[in-house]
Amino acid sequence: MVKLIVGKKGTGKTKILIDGVNTAAHESKGNVVCIEKGAKLTYDLSHDVKLIDIDAYYITNFNEFFGFICGCCASNYDITDIYVDGTLKICGSDLKELDGFVAKAEKFSAAHNVTLILSVSADASELSEGLAKFIA
């Protein structure tokens, strides 16, 4: 399953994401991962969450990011939830590419039983109809 937390900057997306990560860490029978650009959330997340600073891996676009997520899951079959803060900051702001990424991510998450939650700094009206069904 893929879900999008959508809104312009300053609308509380990160707070929603933090609450979701910590709830998942408490309830999950597997591992929870949070990916962000930088390490701002270090003290906001449960110590049970694997926090990844994506800057350390030189990811610059959606294809590289998709490969990174697949690699994380390939190396750890116990990952149940992946949260991403600032998806467009990580991969670029092309919303058409976000469409393709979410389509691949949906297939991947269904095949591997991983929930993927992405925060996206954009107004819901800016997203395609295909992405609207993923908005949380």
Write down the pLDDT at residue 136: 83
Domain at 2-132: CATH architecture: 3-Layer(aba) Sandwich (3.40)
DSSP structure class, residue 28:
-
Tokens 């908005």 -> residue: 135
Burial class of residue 83, CB neighbours in 10 A (0-12, 13-18, 19+):
buried
CA distance 7 to 107: 24
Write down the pLDDT at residue 39: 86
CA distance 4 to 27: 20
- Lookup: tokens for 16: 């929603």
pLDDT tens readout for residues 119-128: 999 999 999 9
pLDDT tens readout for residues 48-83: 999 999 999 999 999 999 999 999 999 999 999 999
Domain ranges of the chain: 2-132
**Verdict on whether the full-model pTM lies above 0.85:** yes
